[in-house]
Structure 1
Amino acid sequence: MDKMNKILLVFAAAIIACQAVPISTKQGDFNRYFIYTSTNPRVPIEINANNITAESVSALLPTSNTTIIVHGHRGSGSTSLNPTVKDAFLRSENINVIVVDWSTFASQTYSVAAGAVPSVGAGLANVITALVNSSVTALETLHLVGFDLGAHVVGFAGRNLDGKVARITGLSPAAQNWGSNSQRINKNDALYVEIIHTDAVGILGHGIGDAVGDVDFFVNGGTGQPGCFLNNYCSHNRAWEVFAATLTNNHLFGNQCGNWLQVTLNTCRGYSIAMGNNDFNKLGSGMFRANTRRTYPF
């Protein structure tokens, strides 16, 4: 390689390096936060995470009842579950919805996105702490909802808040790198943790198959969702679709199962509780099977 080619190669590498997103322990600093309410259901207002005071956010959050939604790998603040779940919350009650956009890292390779999860969750916890300290919301009226890798993000956020968040809902939590990972979402991350499994069985499943919450719903056995025709991505996404349906209809129930065989054979005959919704006072424990139809509202 001649001298000129070496110079050009070094110059090109420098340009690429300057354009790359820095990977560090501060990935959570790149999070963005968008507020939706009944008065602004379509055009959100972005929170300045570095300047959260009672004066700056009190007018933006008209009620202390707040839900925070976190997307997964390849998602963003305006894609995947966010529009559907956000709209369902706003239709069902007077509530603040904060959508977290961590697409700076979620849009990269799975390994990069997964590696960012702890910091993204810690950054979210810092914002929640600032909102609570500003008296515009409270942990006892806070519901964190996460899909795919976002389920582990809200788990980390809850953990950083000493498990005092009222409720966490994990929607088909990502399996790759988390199958037996002790840092994955778990029942200690909030006062009540509910997991909805829709793609949790088989080598191609995107979601974890273990029961990790206070209550774990295995929808139609946790895999092969009706209407998905062996499409794992369809089954994976069904978690947020059925959850959104429960917010406006509150019509899907699961029966407690004694073991995995009962889940698989659809022979669960234990007590019944509602799946999904925004209830902060659920009483239940263990594995449940909920059966649905193939199309909305399931």
Structure 2
Amino acid sequence: MTAQQFSTKFNLYTRRNPVLEQSSIQPDGTGNRANFNNSLVTKFVMHGWDAPQGLGLSLESIKNEWLNAGDYNVFIVDWSQGNRLLSYDQTKANIPTVAQAITKLITELQSKSGLDLNKVHIVGHSLGAHIAGLTGKAFNGQIGRITGLDPAGPGFKGKPSNDKLSPSDAQFVDVIHTDAAPLIGLGITENSGHIDFYPNGGNLHQPGCYINRITEVVDNGLSAAVACNHLRAYDYYVASINPNNPKGVATQCSNFVSYLAGGCNVDAMDDNVAHAIMGEQAILSKPYANSTIGHKYYLTTTISYPYFRDA
């Protein structure tokens, strides 16, 4: 299936304009980018396939928490023209088009505004995580950080690393898996980053989703209800940004059952490798990426915001 042609929109927010976006920024860098500051970390956040009603609020929440916590350039990437009312397979075929648009914008910001790749952080949910990976590949892994929020599984499981989010796509890649159930999950089961987090086992048992499915069918339709676990990665990430919230401390373990039973053998590990913080502060594990890669990190969460417990 071939990619379609469509427009990808980039809306820029900063502390100078935290609510009213500077929109109409084109992939070639043209448009109003007066508030862009090359001395700041630049963050991109994007949605996945068939975003249910209200999902834009998740992107807004991430943007708002970022700007509350620090001074950043924040781009919300809107590629809804490439997935609205389309089949999953067609939308999947469209993701290189989005990656090319982001790559072009970053390249133009490098040349025209002095953007530093070391200060670029791309966050993507579902198919958006693989878009982030393709973008990182275009820069030979020189982008500072990529965060995958439950990267899409269908069509990606078992595929070569060139076709999906992989550790080599950025200097540091962290991933949150919330719907990685074999066969029926919407997220990928495989490790995809330098550090991979599996809250509540990473599959179909995210606290609150069973209850939410009933109300979400009424409020948002079936798609949101079925995708509750898949979308929970957004919620955990939003909660992780606020420095006043408890931290989502995870433990390296062979599997979730062993984690629950306290059988993770952490005494034999360096503490910097035995434990890691899920979400925004996962970057603290970057110096130990060679030791965390290939392992799984587990934690449990509560049913509602802020989801994490004090250690």
TM-score when scaled to structure 1? 0.83
Task: Please name the residue that 1:275 is paired with.
Answer: 278
**Residue correspondence of structure 1 range 19-34 to structure 2 within 5 A:** 25=3, 27=5, 30-34=7-11
Find 1:148's aligned residue among 111, 122, 126. Answer: 126
The residue number in structure 1 matching 2:302 is 293
Q: CA deviation at 1:233?
A: 1.2
Query: Would the aligned equivalents of 1:35 and 1:47 in 2 still touch at CA under 8 Å?
Result: no
Q: Of 75, 90, 105, which residue of structure 1 is paired with 2:51?
A: 75
Aligned to 1:11: none
Q: Which of residues 248, 251, 260 in structure 1 aligns to 2:247?
A: 251
Q: For 2:42 and 2:232, how far apart are their aligned partners in 1?
A: 24
Name which of structure 1's ranges 132-141 and 170-179 shifts more when overlaid on structure 2.
132-141
**Equivalent position of 1:216 in the other structure:** 196
The amino acid across from 2:279 in the alignment is G
Q: Distance in 2 between matches of 1:259 and 1:39?
A: 45
Q: How far, CA to CA, are the matches of 2:265 and 2:98 in structure 1?
A: 40
Q: What is the Cα deviation at residue 49 of structure 1?
A: 1.8
Shift in Å, 1:258? 3.2
Taking the aligned partners of 1:276 and 1:174, their CA distance within structure 2 comes to 18
Deviations 1:130-176 (A, max 9, x none): 11222342111111000011000001000111111111000001111
State the match for 1:229 in structure 2.
Answer: 210
Match of 1:161 in 2: 139
Count of residue pairs the alignment pairs up: 274
Q: CA deviation at 1:227?
A: 1.0
Query: Structure 1 residue 242 and structure 2 residue 220: aligned?
Result: no
Residue in 2 that maps onto 1:201: 181
Pairing of 1:38-49 with structure 2 (within 5 A): 38-49=15-26
Gap runs ≥5 in structure 2: 214-225, 267-273
1:8 is aligned to none
Which of 47, 55, 64 is the equivalent residue of 2:40?
Answer: 64
Q: Is the 8 A contact 2:37 2:73 kept in 1?
A: yes
Report the aligned-residue RMSD: 2.5
Post-superposition offset of 1:80: 5.6
Distance of 2:170 and 2:57 partners within structure 1: 24
Q: Which range moves more in the overlay, 67-76 or 159-168?
A: 67-76
Question: Which stretch shifts more, 227-236 or 154-163?
Answer: 227-236
Q: 1:178 aligns with which of 148, 151, 156?
A: 156
Alignment partner, residue 218 of structure 2: none
Among the aligned pairs, what percent are the same residue? 29
SS at match of 2:113: coil
Please tell me whether the aligned partners of residues 240 and 280 of structure 2 are also in contact (alpha carbons under 8 angstroms). Answer: yes
Asked whether the equivalents of residues 198 and 218 of structure 1 are also in contact (C-alpha less than 8 Å), the reply is: yes
Is the CA contact 1:221–1:266 (under 8 Å) kept in the aligned structure 2? Answer: no
User: What amino acid is aligned across from residue 252 of structure 1 in structure 2?
Assistant: G
Given residue 273 of structure 1, which amino acid in structure 2 is its aligned partner?
A: A
Structure ID, larger Rg = 1
CA contact (8 A) 1:163 1:188 kept: yes
Aligned residues of 1:255 and 1:269 also touching (Cα < 8 A):
no
Ranges in structure 1 where 5+ consecutive residues have no aligned partner: 1-22
Whether the aligned pair in 2 keeps the contact of 1:250 and 1:277 (CA below 8 Å) is: no
Q: Distance in 2 between matches of 1:45 and 1:67?
A: 15
8 Å CA contact 1:221, 1:264 repeated in 2: no
